[in-house]
Amino acid sequence: MKKLLGIAAAAMLSTTGMAQAEWPEKPIKLVVPFGAGGTSDQVARVMQAAIEDSSALNQPVTVVNVGGHYSIGARQVMEADPDGYNFLIIHIALMGGEGTGALDFSWRDFKPVAATGEFCLAPMVRKDSGIDTVGQLLEKAKAEPNTVIFGANIGAINHLAGVMLQESLPGAKFRFVQIGGGTANFTALTGAQTNTTVLSGAEVINFTLLPDGTENPESQIKPLAYTGAERFDGLPDLPTVQEEGFDMTFCIKNWIFAPKETPQEIVDGFADAIGAGIKTDRFQKFLNEKGFAESFLTGDALQKDLDDTWAAIEPVAKIAAEN
């Protein structure tokens, strides 16, 4: 019998003024504010299956992709009923959107639930670009400012990473254009609508390698470097940006949020379910294969991580607002 993460029958939910016998009583919706196939979507779907593997909840978690700008899906959760059945998985985009002015709401307008699965990125180009190193990419952006088209989701992770990358070489300047998340940028770069972008390590594997780990000959794109402090085991021949001589590291956690007034008992219950899922073989295999660092934060540790991340990303976001 599946374990129930519940609330006592007498508990009163302040948002509804009604007593609930237990939570959850119906499927829980986890919104991914990006298209299918990207990093957040991959994490959400393996988390969904891992929670089921762990028998931590007596109801399923349903992953819902909301396309378009990530603000659409984020706002849907922010404005949803705080009844314990609406959650959001997102990353630093939520802060980047605030810092750049792309959003008229903040990460503080949600209730933090958990953080997990830190990942890093890889600058990408087409194979026929004639560019083989991140140095060559930056030199081109310096020699021909505002001509190298960088696919981004304005205010989101790929935009912030692009700004950090260009700032690592004085005088380099990309031309940032709104494309979307990882899947949309893979498509745009493959179709030569853009010249460069960044993808997560998981997306690089998903979009450029075959299941056996060898290069997919049909893929039209290639990574140049990795923004982690160390090389990515899944792409061992790929140097770090620092190895290439540029002072940049950029790695990101996935955050799960709930509507602001969601009862703390339910937030804690869903966090416990996520924690149980993370311990499963399924989730651990995913972390290892996709190059994620294992992490799980809740409560005060999560709040500190959010505060520290905002302090670090706010100045970058202000630069991004001008690019």
d(CA 175, CA 148): 6
Residue 147's pLDDT is what? 97
pLDDT at residue 283, rounded to an integer: 96
CATH of the domain at 75: 3.40.190.150
Residues 34, 129: one domain? no
Number of domains in the chain: 2
Cα(100)–Cα(162) distance, integer angstroms: 14
Same domain, 42 and 187: no
Per-residue pLDDT at 79: 98
pLDDT value, residue 18: 34
Range 93-127 burial, b when 16+ CB lie within 10 A, else e: bbbbbbbbebbeeebebbbbbbbbbbbbbbbbbbe
Phi-psi region of 59 (alpha: psi -120 to 50; beta: other; left: phi over 0): beta
Q: Quick check: is 135 in a domain?
A: yes
| In a shared domain, residues 70 and 217 | no
Write down the pTM of the prediction.
Answer: 0.77
- For 88, the enclosing helix (H) or strand (E) is strand 86-90
Domain identity same for 131 and 191: yes
Does residue 107 sit in the same domain as residue 133? no
Q: Along the 323 residues of the chain, how does pLDDT read in single tens digits?
A: 434 444 333 333 444 433 344 899 999 999 999 888 888 899 999 999 999 999 999 999 999 999 888 999 999 999 999 999 999 999 998 998 899 888 999 999 999 999 998 889 999 999 999 999 999 999 999 999 999 999 998 888 899 999 999 999 999 999 999 998 888 999 999 999 999 999 998 889 889 998 888 899 999 999 999 999 989 888 889 999 999 999 999 998 999 999 999 999 999 999 999 999 999 999 999 988 887 888 899 999 999 999 999 998 999 988 888 87
Where in the sequence is the domain holding 135, given as residue range(s)? 120-223
Quote the tokens at residue 249: 């590291």
**Same-domain status, 270 and 296:** yes
Of 177, 207, 223, which closes a domain?
223
Residue 134, classed as helix, strand or coil, is helix
Same domain, 86 and 159: no
Residue at 136 is within a domain = yes
pLDDT of residue 28: 98
pLDDT at 281: 97
Specify whether 128 is located in the same domain as 99.
no
Does residue 11 fall inside a structural domain?
no
Q: Is 3 part of any domain?
A: no
pLDDT at 5 (0 to 100): 43
7 neighbors 266 (Cβ within 8 angstroms): yes
241 lies in a domain?
A: no
**243 inside domain:** no
Residues 98 and 135 in one domain: no
Whether 95 is in a domain gets the answer yes
| 206 and 281 together in one domain | no
Same domain for 255 and 115, yes or no, is yes
Looking at the structure, do residues 125 and 208 belong to the same domain, yes or no? Answer: yes
Q: Does residue 17 fall inside a structural domain?
A: no
Give CA–CA dist 177/310, Å, rounded: 24
Domain containing 168 — which CATH number? Answer: 3.40.190.10
Strand 28-32 and strand 86-90: the pairing is parallel
CA 241/CA 226 separation, integer angstroms: 6
Rounded Cα gap, residues 271 and 115, in angstroms: 9
Question: What pLDDT, on the 0 to 100 scale, is given for residue 9?
Answer: 33
